[in-house]
Structure 1
Amino acid sequence: MIAPAHRYRSEDEDSARWVGFPFRDGDIVISTRSKSGTTWMQMICALLVFGTPDLPAPLTELSPWLDWLVEPRDAVYGRLAAQPHRRFIKTHTPLDGVPLDPRVHYVVVARHPLDMAVSLYHQAGNLDRARLAELTGQPAPVGPPRKRLPVEQWLPSWVDREVDPRAELDSLPGVLWHLSDAWARRHEPNVELVHYDDLQADLGGQMRLLADRWGFAVPAGRWPELVEAATFGRMRERADLLVPDTRGVLRDRGAFFRQGRSGQGRDLLDAAGLARYRARTAALAPPDLLDWLHRDA
């Protein structure tokens, strides 16, 4: 097993909780940036593991977020230890912050950073900050919430932010840090790099590829209902079962599955803004990764 190279911490996450985790042969670790297809990949894994859309428990119970500080570490470890099925575990930590075990499969979902950012903007507006502070032992917010810029004004500022990528993982530098690390590992036999747009374009094909790589034998007659259950529309209909909010952190659980489409971020920038974005990304990630990631040249 390769020990993590970095520790990632925020007010509500700590990747050190992975250290000492007792992996099992066949475990699946889902490593994504926020709003990049985490719940989608968790659902795909659940459908492959159980072979039916009728899941035995809410998705967050079946696939816990191991490094989220809202739930005690020992409680998460205990729930995972009690699971008799193949386990699939959520994290927003890059792979260099997670122990790498040859018995374990790692999947990283990549989404166009501008689309991810727009979804992140709307998600931030849906968080109950007071409840999150209460659950993580942080001081409660004081005073009225700061007025937010409209998304059209916020997005260019997100593109331009100069931050430490390891400290601000949901920034543009942080997103490309996460994906660059996964890109460098993409040829390793137990690492899968999946593009959000490929899931949209050919969900069934992508699910079959993952099933083959991970050793799931799915009867041919079961595929139609499994693929249908993983569509965005069907998942939104089942938000009460699938939304990752067992502790009341979201103001509106129904808003979690907002649109899920591609291209919304690019539509919000003018020509100068897009040129600025291209220049920033060219300085932050290798060109072959960017060609694969952007899909809009």
Structure 2
Amino acid sequence: MPTPVHRYRSDDEDSARWTGFPFRDGDIVISTRSKSGTTWMQMICALLVLGTPELPAPLTVLSPWLDWLGEPQATVYDRLAAQPHRRFIKTHTPLDGVPLDPRVHYVVVARHPLDMAVSLYHQAANLDRERLAELTGQPAPAGPPRQRPPLREWLVSWVDREVDPRSELDSLPGVLMHLNDAWARRHEPNVELVHYDDLLADLGGEMRRLADRWGIAVPAARWPELTEAATFGRMRERADRLAPDTLGVLRDRQAFFRRGGSGQGRDLLDEAARSRYQQRVAALAPPDLLGWLHR
């Protein structure tokens, strides 16, 4: 079994939990940065694999976050081992931290970093930090929550932050490190890149493309129903079953599906801040990746 090159660890997750995972032919690993379309891709996989919008269990149960420390590793392994259908597994780890097996398909979803950051800002307010600390064995937060700056101010500081991308994966350097690695692998036969905006523009077309890539046959009559079930509005209506919150980490499951659009991040920045963003990303990623990411 191949082993990952890099180990990624935080208070909430540890990519070493992938080491020794018993893959099966056709497994799908969904590798994304936070708030970049993870749950959306999990739902698309569920619909394609199971062939019905009526999921037999909550989405998080069907598609667990393997490297999350909130559940024992053995529990997650056992749940996946018991699944009779093709498996689709969530990770926020870049592909250089996950075992790469030729029998397995890997899909990386990319979103404009500024839009991802805006969603991340709102998501932070929706997390129950005490519950999260309890599940991951961390000390409970002490004192009142720290006051955050307004969104526009926070976004500018997020663009400017100089951090180690391997320890701050949701930073701008971390986002582009994740995507740089995937971009370099995009021609490999079992690696697929998906752009969040392509899902917005042509959800049905992207679902068909993925089904073809993964060898999943879907009867023509089923496509309208499956595509409708994967729309943002329909998923928001089913937040109790689809939000990644079986253990009570979110304060409001519907709020997890906040907007789902694109462009808000860019609109929040003035000309000087947008110029600074362009300078930063030009130093962090090659022009062809940035052209694809920002189109």
Fold match by TM threshold 0.5: yes
- Once the two structures are superposed, the pairs formed by residues 276-295 of structure 1 within 5 Å of their partners are 276-295=276-295
Separation in structure 2 between the aligned mates of residue 131 and residue 3 of structure 1, nearest angstrom: 32
SS in 2 for 1:139: coil
- Give the superposition deviation at 1:2: 3.5
Q: Which residue of 2 aligns with 1:266?
A: 266
The amino acid across from 1:154 in the alignment is W
- Residue identity opposite 2:71 in structure 1: E
2:15 is aligned to 15
Shift in Å at residue 251 of structure 1? 1.0
Matches within 5 A, 1:1-297: 1-295=1-295
- Structure 1 runs (4+) greater than 3 angstroms displaced: none
Amino acid at match of 2:205: G
Q: Unaligned regions of 5+ residues in structure 2, if any?
A: none
The 3-state SS of whatever aligns with 2:46 is helix
- Greater mean deviation of Cα atoms: 246-255 or 38-47: 246-255
TM-score (norm 1): 0.99
Runs of 5+ consecutive residues of structure 1 not aligned to the other structure? none
Is the contact made by 2:133 and 2:140 (CA closer than 8 Å) also made in structure 1?
Answer: yes
Measured on the aligned residues, the alpha-carbon RMSD in Å equals 0.5
Separation of aligned partners in 2, 1:171 and 1:102: 30
Distance 1:27 1:9 in 2: 24
Q: Which amino acid aligns with 1:117?
A: A
Post-superposition shift, 1:3? 2.0
Q: CA deviation at 1:254?
A: 1.2
> Any idea what the Cα deviations from partners look like across 1:136-187, whole Å, max 9, x if unmatched?
1111111111101110110000000000101100000000000000000000
Partner SS for 1:267: helix
Aligned equivalents of 2:14, 2:145: Cα separation in 1: 26
Q: Describe the superposition over 1:244-273 as per-residue Cα deviations: whole angstroms up to 9, x where unpaired.
A: 001111111110000010001001000000
SS of 1:29's equivalent in the other structure is strand
> Partners in 2 of 1:218 and 1:247 — Cα distance?
33
CA distance in structure 2 between the partners assigned to 1:82 and 1:129 by the alignment: 31
SS at match of 2:74: helix
- Secondary structure of residue in 1 paired with 2:285: coil
